[in-house]
């Protein structure tokens, strides 16, 4: 399994938690059903989901700060969770370059995005956040 597929599994779990209000463990189990998940991927998926959920308030605040004429609760659940996942990677996975995290979020947006504009929207928000974060370095 590639990291791209692992991210897809993590995204599906986050989406289920957000929409279905189900527990993360159940969402993870359901999301992995159609995939052969190895031990390394299992850890990566778990870190993404657990980390994103643990930092949810911080992630949502940062996303909301960078939305232009939008509120986070008005975003589609797909877009909201792709932003959360991408931003979690940018902030907390220092082994992954921010450009890779943004690109991976965009690939998932192409597949699952709520509209034809989702890719550009997600790119804009993540790029603004990353630009602000790394302008401080």
Q: What is the pLDDT of residue 1?
A: 67
Query: Tens digits of per-residue pLDDT, 70-93?
Result: 889 899 999 999 999 999 999 999
- What is the separation of C-alpha 46 from the centre of its chain, rounded to a whole number of angstroms? 13
Q: Please, are residues 104 and 134 in contact by the beta-carbon 8 Å criterion?
A: no
**Tens-of-pLDDT digits for all 137 residues of the chain?**
689 999 999 999 999 999 987 899 999 999 999 888 889 999 999 999 999 999 999 999 999 999 888 889 899 999 999 999 999 999 999 999 999 999 999 999 999 987 778 899 999 999 999 988 887 55
pTM of the model: 0.93
Output the CATH code of domain 3-135.
1.10.940.10
What is the domain partition of the chain in residue ranges? Answer: 3-135
CA-nearest of 57, 33, 28 to 45 is 28
Cα dihedral across residues 44, 48, 49, 53: positive or negative:
positive
d(CA 9, CA 15) in angstroms, rounded, equals 10
Using DSSP, how many helices (H) and how many strands (E) does the chain show? 7, 0
Q: Please, are residues 22 and 31 in contact by the beta-carbon 8 Å criterion?
A: no
Q: Please, are residues 122 and 86 in contact by the beta-carbon 8 Å criterion?
A: yes
Q: What is the pLDDT of residue 55?
A: 98
């Amino acid at each position: 399994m590639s990291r791209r597929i692992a991210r897809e599994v993590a995204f599906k779990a986050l989406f289920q938690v957000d929409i279905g209000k189900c527990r993360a463990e159940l969402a993870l189990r359901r999301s992995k059903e159609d995939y052969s998940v190895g031990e390394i991927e299992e850890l990566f998926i778990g870190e993404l989901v657990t980390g994103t959920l643990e930092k949810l308030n911080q992630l949502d605040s940062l996303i909301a700060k960078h939305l232009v004429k939008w509120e986070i609760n008005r975003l589609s659940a797909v877009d909201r969770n792709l932003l959360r996942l991408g931003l979690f990677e940018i902030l907390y996975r220092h082994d992954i370059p921010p450009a890779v995290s943004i690109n991976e979020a965009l690939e998932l947006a192409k597949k699952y995005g709520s509209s034809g504009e989702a890719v550009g929207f997600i790119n804009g928000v993540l790029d603004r956040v990353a630009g602000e974060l790394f302008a401080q370095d």
